[in-house]
Amino acid sequence: MSDPTHPGAPVLEVADLSVTFGSGPSAVRAVRGLNYEVRPGEVLGIVGESGSGKSVASMAVMGLLPPHARVSGSVKLLGTELLGASDKRLAAFRGRTISMVFQDPLSALTPVYRVGDQIAEALTVHQDLTRAEARKRAVELLDLVGIPHPAERATAFPHEFSGGMRQRAVIAMAIANDPDVIICDEPTTALDVTIQAQVLDVLRKAQRETGAAIVMITHDLGVVAGFVDRVLVMYAGRPVEIGSVDEVYYHPLMPYTMGLLGSVPRLDQGERGRLTPIDGNPPSPAALPPGCPFEPRCRLAVPECRLAEPPLRPVRHSRHLAACIRAGEIERGVVTTVPKLPEIPEEGEERPPRESRRVVLGVEDLVKHYPLTRGAVFKRRVGTVEAVAGVSFDLREGETLGLVGESGCGKTTTLMEILKLARPQGGRVVVLGRDISGLVAADRMSVRRDMQVVFQDPMSSLDPRMTVYDILAEPLRAHRVREPGPRVRDLLRLVGLEPEHAARYPQDFSGGQRQRIGIARALALEPRLVVLDEPVSALDVSIQAGVINLLEELKARLGLSYLFVAHDLSVVRHIADRVAVMYLGRIAEVGQVDRVYDTPMHPYTQALLSAVPLPDPVVERARRRILLEGDLPSPADPPSGCRFRTRCPLYKAIGETERLRCVHEEPRVRPMGGDHGAACHYAESLDVV
Amino acid sequence: MAGFLARRLINYVALIVVATSLAYMLAASALDPRSNYEARRPPPPPAVVDARLDELNLNNKTPVFQRYLRWSWSVLHGDFGKTTVGDPVNADLARRAGVTLRLILVGLIVGSVAGVLGGALAAVWQYGWFDRLTTAASFLVLAVPTVVLANMLIIGAVWFNDLVGAQIFLVSGETTPGLEGGFLRGAADRAQHLLLPTLSLSLGLIAVYSRYQRNMMLDVLGADFVRTARAKGLRRSTALTKHALRTALIPAVTYFAFTFGALIVGTTFTEKIFGWHGLGEQLINSIFTNDVNTVAAISCLAAFGVLVAALASDLMQAALDPRVRVG
Ligand code: SF4
Ligand code: SF4
């Protein structure tokens, strides 16, 4: 297998890698025979959902698994076997020849040491440097990964760095000794999308500087598309498909890969098609089905699939391999996985125009400030965080409004203020025609009944000691429904669960099913408005698609209105009719979803949309990305005038006199034609997706 | 930081004043120095007793608050008053404070260092023999009262001395009276005396600390930053000491102030049992002799000690944890 694009001997060869936790019948085989190799300068993406074994495998390669994990197979780094080597020998490789960037930058640095010293430590372990030399080099590295004022920032402690900056510091550490291989384990998953774009950019730069091979582990098909040369798809601890990124994305040969690609909502596709979820749930690694592990969920399964696990075999040519007995037929186009999609019930007749529909939720100049305090024992107020600083929008009957923005933009605070049903600090909230500041207890009860909420984490919002029946019956009883039994069964059927499962406890269900229970609970009292707080962000894509479809179906069937708070712009495009983009406590842009996504007017929306990676390698490589500089300013000290001006690319492009207006005058949302408005003095449209 | 410390300090002084005042009130109303005189054969005439008690500011016929004012006025001038027999409290306590301080300091250092190390090692070898052993031992120690523990130690020591036929452990007092020999001989003698009381005092501390430290350490063992440290090429042992243990020490230091109080209680028993003439022993004696002023003075010293420990733990925390320093 020679690679025309990346000649040279492989730097990292992984062969038949297996990892088992525990022993006996309860043993969990997290990784079951992983093979791959990367050559100098090559980027390999390893894609899989949670539980596929992708992260465990990378820890095994680094030799960082806890001692009770049993690892077998072979990991060769520059021809040297790493498995079974002593900690001392491995330590000599780690950080020098092979280094790693981890998922959660917030906890990846030791809190008690200065950032510069931690990078210097990575140097001094492997090189004979004096303290001063190592410090100097650490500052250079911080500069390389784009930390402003590196000499100064090197003396800061990790808690003084934002998440994006910490990830840069971790990358600086990883490239400190000019390694041959860098393993990146979900390096941007914990970051906001504009910061993700920055960090990916830094990684590209780091790769250019070091010429290292990169193994990029992620669940995000978009991140992989534009970043890697080859992709390896993992399922149930095994590679199921491997090939060049274009081949795998455009001509997948394994039904699982096809399902995965079909279930991602896409930022660049406006038509309201249904997503194609993969049925069922990933198998538990402790109880794999016989034969092909994907068989219970596979739409193309035939009886032979049950007989033996299909090996990973070359299909199209020697460099595109798939583990499926029907891969040949798929290749020739004899069979496809295009499924029969459940019909979306038509939304009645033609919907009346927006203006004539009733406003179910009206928010006007909503304000929420928090005091900012210092000190553990003696708290003193040192400032005010303007979490929400004058937000207005309305949500009309039968529509979905997506409220999007990065962390710290105030979307969650806005939602909490609405749910509180108490007089806001400033502004007005009107739910179903009633101003919430004037509610007495009895009114509040009836408004609660009409406005329900679904939270992000299905596990923590369901009481583990209650059966599903009790969870669903509770709101009914609270509102004096005598016989909740039949209604509970209806609700379970409504959200696609078996009514017989009512006697089970939440922990007996998978993440997606739990979220369905959460939705059923919200629907128990037949509300008219449902507030959804990141309802699918904790779910894997293949499961997420099913929940999104369910939400759309329920909305059409029951005539619901949704306020959908999310950070995932692709999901919002898919589900929302209108979208409001928030930045630092204010609305930057609002309007009909296709207008905002296709012709974003506000420079922030433009940058945000351009930062979202698309699961389409060719498009992704050709895309122009607007990189925002720096981090979100502190909401305790927002910039004067336009809050976005410190990072605004347009602000940099305009003349001195125009800038004055941005500095001194706060832009209000101004109509941009049709149902579309942007809060920018100089808004113009730009094609970014 | 300076402002923060100053505020802390003022707070602590206020706490000492309140604690000591309460202790005085309690002692002055609960203890009855008059009974000391009534028990004499023959009892002295009441007028003489009153005069004597008035002189010592111990007369229960004077309202408590008035006695308190007179007492606090003299305390402000650095005088804790007189004992029931008329000796100055200050002189007696000054001598005894040194004895107690030596015992507590050694106990504290031995207890916290051994506890932290034991706990950290137990965490690193979780479920290994060392972990099991220390877990069992600490629960045993925590379940047995100090008094019983100290006496068990004495019995064990005597048995051991008999076994080897030499006085290895000395179980009474601080030094052997009338000991001949040079400095080295003296130091060895002191160490021999110190061994058992320190052990009985610090065992409880070790038990508590090792449990606590074990949990703290387990929390950070799996922490991402330890993994990062190893990923950059640090050996496991280096990563564990330099990154994990260093971080896990911070909460242990906060704990320091709390254990100090327990340690003070522990010394009262230890001193009494091992015949050390320190503050703890005197506290018990003075309660029996209705010695209000001594009780109040020792309470004041104890409060002072606890708050010094609290301040020390604040300072250590600030030194160890940069996140606190900025505040
Ligand atoms: S082997 Fe059978 S079950 Fe497995 S993916 Fe292929 S068609 Fe589906
Ligand atoms: S108002 Fe000025 S600073 Fe704000 S977004 Fe528009 S151009 Fe940028």
What CATH number has the domain bearing residue B212?
1.10.3720.10
Give pLDDT, residue A226.
Answer: 87
A231 touches chain B (CB under 8 A): no
Instruction: Show which of A212, A235, A258 is a domain's final residue.
Output: A235
Q: What is the mean pLDDT of residues A406-418?
A: 88
Nearest to A100 among B222, B226, B231 (CB): B231
Domain assignment present for A264:
no
Domain assignment present for A558:
yes
Give the total number of structural domains in chain B. Answer: 1
Residues 6+ apart with CB under 8 A from A586: A389, A390, A391, A410, A643, A679
Instruction: Show which of A576, A600, A626 is a domain's final residue.
Output: A576
User: What is the chain B residue with the closest CA to A64?
Assistant: B227
Q: What is the mean pLDDT of residues A23-37?
A: 86
pLDDT per residue as tens digits for the range A50-61: 888 888 999 999
Give pLDDT, residue A270.
Answer: 61
Is the pLDDT confidence value at A460 over 80?
no
Angle subtended by helix axes B89-124 and B292-320, to nearest 10 = 40
User: What is the chain A residue with the closest CA to B320?
Assistant: A112
Q: Which residues of A touch B125 (CB under 8 A)?
A: none
Residues 6+ apart with CB under 8 A from A253: A241, A243, A315, A316, A320, A322, A324, A327, A330, A331
Determine the structural domain holding residue B84 and report its residue range.
2-326
pLDDT per residue as tens digits for the range A100-151: 998 888 889 999 999 999 999 999 999 988 999 999 999 999 998 888 889 9
More confident residue, A51 or A639: A639
A478 and A543 in a single domain? The answer is: yes
ipTM over 0.85: no
HSE-CB at A689 with a 13 A cutoff on CA atoms is 25
CB A573 within 8 A of CB A270: yes
CB A254 within 8 A of CB A331: no
Count, in order, helices (H) and strands (E) of chain B.
Answer: 14, 0
Helix (H) / strand (E) element for A670: namely: strand A670-671
HSE-CB at A345 with a 13 A cutoff on CA atoms is 12
Give pLDDT, residue A686.
Answer: 60
pLDDT per residue as tens digits for the range A506-522: 888 888 888 899 999 99
Question: Percent of chain B having pLDDT more than 90?
Answer: 6
A425 and A541 in a single domain? The answer is: yes
Angle subtended by helix axes A511-523 and A468-478, to nearest 10 = 20
* Chain A: closest CA distance from residue B277 (Å): 39
Q: What is the mean pLDDT of residues A265-290?
A: 77
A175 touches chain B (CB under 8 A): no
Domain assignment present for A268:
no
A327 and A452 in a single domain? The answer is: no
Which token pair is A593? 């979803």
Q: Rounded CA gap, A37 and A9, in Å?
A: 9
Q: What is the mean pLDDT of residues A623-650?
A: 87
Nearest ligand to the CA atom of A670: 2
Residue A235 near ligand 1, beta carbon < 6 Å: no
Q: Rounded CA gap, B228 and A574, in Å?
A: 38
Give pLDDT, residue A449.
Answer: 87
Q: Rounded CA gap, A396 and B239, in Å?
A: 57
pLDDT per residue as tens digits for the range B221-239: 888 899 999 999 999 889 9
Question: Percent of chain A having pLDDT more than 70?
Answer: 94
A114 and A219 in a single domain? The answer is: yes
Nearest CA to ligand 2 atom 7: A651
Domain assignment present for A244:
no
User: Strand, coil or helix: what is A207?
Assistant: helix
Give pLDDT, residue A664.
Answer: 92
HSE-CB at B279 with a 13 A cutoff on CA atoms is 28
Domain assignment present for A70:
yes
Is the pLDDT confidence value at B71 over 70?
yes
Contact A96 B246 (CB under 8 A): no
Nearest to B233 among A111, A126, A377 (CB): A126
Angle at A203 between CA A198 and CA A205, to 5 degrees: 95
Determine the structural domain holding residue A626 and report its residue range.
592-678
Which token pair is A314? 């070359």
Which token pair is A59? 């820890």
Residues 6+ apart with CB under 8 A from B79: B88, B90
A161 touches chain B (CB under 8 A): no
Which of A180, A156, A179, A152 lies closest to A166 in space, CA to CA?
A156
Is the pLDDT confidence value at A1 over 50?
no
User: Strand, coil or helix: what is B226?
Assistant: helix
Using H for helix, E for strand and C for coil, what is the string for A440-463?
A: CHHHHHHHHHHEEEECCCCCCCCC
Q: What is the mean pLDDT of residues B17-32?
A: 88
Q: Rounded CA gap, B312 and B14, in Å?
A: 17
A509 and A414 in a single domain? The answer is: yes
Helix (H) / strand (E) element for A621: namely: helix A617-622
Q: What is the mean pLDDT of residues A347-371?
A: 80
What torsion, rounded to 10 degrees, do the Cα atoms A110, A112, A115, A121 define?
A: -70
Is the pLDDT confidence value at A687 over 70?
no
Q: What is the mean pLDDT of residues A647-672?
A: 89
CB A590 within 8 A of CB A680: no
Domain assignment present for A276:
no
Give pLDDT, residue A671.
Answer: 86
With 0-12 / 13-18 / 19 or more C-beta atoms within 10 angstroms meaning exposed / middle / buried, residue A334 is: exposed
pLDDT per residue as tens digits for the range B207-217: 888 888 898 88
Give the total number of structural domains in chain A. Answer: 4
Give pLDDT, residue B268.
Answer: 84
Mean pLDDT of chain A: 87
Count, in order, helices (H) and strands (E) of chain A.
Answer: 23, 24
How is residue A33 annotated by DSSP?
E
Domain assignment present for A688:
no
User: What is the chain A residue with the closest CA to B221?
Assistant: A66
Q: Is the CA virtual torsion B242, B245, B251, B255 positive or negative? A: negative
pLDDT per residue as tens digits for the range A157-193: 998 888 888 998 999 999 999 899 999 998 888 888 8
Q: Going edge to edge, which strands form the sheet with A313-314?
A: A98-101, A181-185, A213-218, A43-47, A230-235, A238-244, A321-322, A313-314
Give pLDDT, residue B327.
Answer: 45
A107 touches chain B (CB under 8 A): yes
